Amino acid sequence: MEDILTQNFIIATSVADIRHDPDPEAELVTQALMNMPAIAGEASGEWTHVQLTDYSGWIRTSELDFPIVRGVCEGDEGTCGVALPYSVVVTETHTPVYAHAQGDEKLFDIYLSTILPYIDLAHPQRLRIALPGEQEGWIAREAVDIRSNSELYPRKDLSTVIEYAKAFLDIPYLWGGTSWRGIDCSGFVQLCYRMGGNTIPRDADQQYDFLPQSVERQDMQPGDLIFFGSKSITHVGMAISSCEFIHAEGQDFNRVVITSFDPQHADYHARLDSIVWGIKRVR
């Protein structure tokens, strides 16, 4: 992939690591899902610096590809290059992409909120989808929604956000993670709210600054975001009741857990209770 400076690309793998420096041992600052746009900048060896919609960092150049341009024209096999006004959006935490319309041969898994173009909707069980690198695959109908490109993440009821959050219970904590394979605290709430139709920033401190409506502890409601820290914001969770919250916690539990502010509750966590920085309402 020559002369990639400031060109538009997409993420070509299911989940791509984005690192602070062009080094596999460097800090994982975030991850990007398949088909997310990436503007390529400086290159260093096998690495390229990219600007994502919500972050920037270094990615292996092999995990970038040119944008998918495939569509369906009457009478052809999906190769005419006409962009369709609709896409499939993954609505399960994770789902296989199959090699064929039938059978169990799997290419890879893709993850919640991934967007891909479709080629053919005729098969009763699986949809034929376009993949990076001029490839294609098949995905189960029940794992995706077909949505307009003008509203890929429509507003959903707050209960949908909380249902997605609970679907991640016990998923491993991963600093910088953004998927079912491993997720961090701010990536977790960002993803759940994306599926509910709200776009919020990537990092916890950015989320706190972005959300204008503050909430008192006694007024906390399901869906509110709770920010923690003693000297600065270091953690975020999502309220699921007036006293419980769900969060991807990497210090004591290393997974997504439910914790309580009630000292009489079995899941009470005194340290977090003592360092609540503030509570913000998303909607």
Listed residue (81, 97, 246, 90) closest to 171, CA to CA? 246
CA distances from 97 to 129, 130, 137, 149 (A): 9, 11, 6, 21
Listed residue (282, 263, 281) closest to 273, CA to CA? 263
Known catalytic residue at 100: no
Q: Choosing from 73, 100, 123, 235, which is the catalytic residue?
A: 235
Q: How many CB atoms lie within 10 A of CB 30?
A: 24
Known catalytic residue at 185: yes
Q: Choosing from 185, 192, 265, 269, which is the catalytic residue?
A: 185
Q: How many CA atoms lie within 13 A of 85 on its CB side?
A: 3
Known catalytic residue at 243: no
Q: Choosing from 49, 192, 247, 269, which is the catalytic residue?
A: 247
Q: Identify the burial level of 87 via C-beta atoms within 10 angstroms of its C-beta, where 0-12 means exposed, 13-18 middle and 19 or more buried.
A: buried
Which residues are annotated as catalytic? 185, 235, 247
